[in-house]
Structure 1
Amino acid sequence: MIVFEYAPNGTLFEHLHIKESEHLDWEVRLRIAMGIAYCLEHMHQLTPPVVHKKLHSSSIYLTEDYAGKISDFGFWNEATMAKMRSTGIDDTPSTDPENNIYSFGVILLEMITGRLSNSLDDGPLVAWALEFLERKRPIKDMVDPTLKTFQEEDLEKLCEIVTSCVHSDPNQRPSIREVTAQLREITLLPPDRATPRLSPLWWAELEILSTEAS
Structure 2
Amino acid sequence: MGIAYCLEHMHQLNPPVVPRSLDSTTIYLTDDFAAKVSDLEFPDDGAKGSSPRSATSDLETAVHRYGVVLLEILTGRVACSDEDGPLERWASRYLDGEVRLAELFDPSIGSSFSEEAARALCEVARSCVDPDPKRRPAMAEVAARLREITALGPDRATPKVSPLWWAELEIMSSSDS
Task: Give your verdict on TM over 0.5.
Answer: yes
1:170 and 1:50 mapped to 2: Cα distance?
Answer: 18
Paired residues for 1:84-95 under 5 Å: none
TM-superposed CA distance for 1:136, in Å, is 1.0
Match of 2:9 in 1: 42
Pairwise CA distance, 1:109: 0.6
Pair 1:135-2:97 in alignment: yes
Find the counterpart in structure 2 of residue 118 from structure 1: 80
Distance 1:56 1:96 in 2: 15
Give TM-score scaled by structure 2 length: 0.78
- Other-structure match for 1:155: 118
Deviates more, 1:190-199 or 1:62-71: 190-199
Letter in 1 for 2:81: S
Query: Of 54, 64, 67, which aligns to 1:102?
Result: 64
* 1: CA distance, partners of 2:109 / 2:151: 21
User: Where does structure 2 lack aligned partners over 5 or more consecutive residues?
Assistant: 41-56, 164-177
Deviation for aligned residue 1:187 = 1.2
Deviation at 1:189, TM superposition (A): 1.3
The share of aligned pairs that are identical, in percent, is 53
Q: Deviations over 1:76-114 (max 9, x none)?
A: xxxxxxxxxxxxxxxxxxx70111100111111111110
Q: 2:143 aligns with which of 165, 177, 180?
A: 180
Distance 1:140 1:198, change over 3 A: same
Q: Find the aligned partners of 2:128 and 2:108 in 1 and give their Cα distance.
A: 25
Amino acid at match of 1:98: E
Amino acid at match of 1:59: T
Q: In structure 2, how many angstroms separate the alpha carbons of the residues matched to 1:127 and 1:187?
A: 25
Residue aligning to 1:7:
none
1:148, 1:189 → 2: CA distance? 18
The answer as to 2:29 corresponding to 1:62 is yes
State the superposition RMSD in angstroms: 1.6
Asked if 1 retains the 8 angstrom alpha-carbon contact of 2:60 and 2:134, the reply is yes
Change in CA separation of 1:40 and 1:120 when aligned onto 2, cut-off 3 Å: same
SS in 1 for 2:36: strand
- TM-score, normalising length from structure 1? 0.65
Change in Cα spacing, 1:139 to 1:54, as seen in structure 2 (3 Å) is same
Unaligned runs of 5+ in 1: 1-33, 74-94, 201-214
Give 1:128 shift: 0.5
Q: Which amino acid aligns with 1:41?
A: E
Question: After TM superposition, what 4+ stretches of structure 1 lie above 4 angstroms from structure 2?
Answer: none
Verify the 8 A CA contact 2:102 2:110 in the aligned structure 1. no
Structure exhibiting the larger radius of gyration computed from Cα positions: 2
